[in-house]
Amino acid sequence: PLTLILTGIPGVAGGSPWAAVPLCCLYVLMLLGNGSLLWALRAEHALHIPMFQLLSMLALADLGLALCTLPTVLAVFCAPAAPLPFRACLAQMYFIHTFSAIESGVLVAMALDRFVAVCHPLRYGSVLSGSLVAGAGLLIVLRGSCLVLPVALLMARMPFCGARVLSHSFCLHQDMLRLACGDVRPSSWYGLGAVLLTKGLDSLAILLSYGLILRAILGTVPPGARAKAFGTCICHLCAVLLFYVPLISLSLIHRFGQHLSPLTPTLLADAYLLVPPVLNPLVYSWKTKQIRRRILLLLCRRG
């Protein structure tokens, strides 16, 4: 059966369990942070509003994105060579890109939530109802699942020959496409189109939302209250930067950075998949008093 070889960090020998210790710590922080965040959002009734319902979706997407890479990332550092069956690699690729598209869609919904909260605060409860948030969440999941599915189907029909060594400790579409033989243009062009229809349009929607928010704050909010109005958007802006900066950098390097050191795409891919799930709960817990109080209460009970 066709297998692909996963690789770890360049310069770090495979089968070195000590090298997996920092990654294990990051995964533990991710699980504890997002699990505590979801528990706090569920337990605190004051947080049952659209903004924090969308934050729950973001935490679930972060958990899915990190958990689908956990087995292979740890396997690479615990075995000299980590072969992965092609179908398992294909499934991992599908889930990574699906959860990534879902997280991008949730960030757009959160940007629209901030736009309504800042620009139309009196209509916030009537515009963003619970049924609207649930419908938006379902639409985001369906969009990500359906757009990524043809990528996996096209990749399943690709022949592979020659070297079968991937550049990362998990499977990404661009990395697998690099190893395929034959005509890869349909898969490559569709993958590019899927990225533009998800991350491309999503980033434009977020920029438009914040452009309108900035205009509303500078035009209608009194100077003394502008800092507070900007403060309501800080957490979401941090989440957007943590997600899009490594993603855009990794996409550009895969397409145009063949002359760079192999360490660069490896570190960017790890940052893209691990940094947002680890830092998002910390940012929101730090800025939201109710979440911070609930998490402290949980820690005191366990202590």
> DSSP 3-state helix, strand, coil percentages of the chain (rounded to 5)?
80, 5, 15
pLDDT tens figures, 12-65: 555 566 667 777 888 888 888 888 888 888 887 777 888 889 999 999 999 998
Q: How many domains does the chain have?
A: 1
Residue 92 lies in a domain: yes
Residue 303, in any domain of the structure:
no
Q: What is the pLDDT of residues 239-272, one digit of tens each?
A: 888 888 888 887 777 667 667 676 777 778 878 8
Residue 167 placed within a domain: no
The reply to whether 249 falls in a domain is: yes
CB burial readout 59-73, b (16+ within 10 A) else e: bbbbbbbbbbbbebb
- For residue 107, being part of any structural domain is answered with yes
Owning domain of residue 273: 16-162+182-283
Q: How many residues does the chain have?
A: 303
113 in a structural domain = yes
DSSP state, residue 17: G
Q: Provide the pLDDT for residue 109.
A: 93
Is 270 inside any structural domain? yes
pLDDT digits (tens, 9 = 90+) for 118-162: 888 888 888 888 888 999 999 999 999 999 999 999 998 888 877
Please check whether residue 268 lies inside any domain of the structure. Answer: yes
**Cα–Cα distance for residue pair 45/66, rounded to 1 Å:** 28
Q: Using the predicted structure, report yes or no on whether residue 303 has a pLDDT greater than 60.
A: no
CATH at 30? 1.20.1070.10
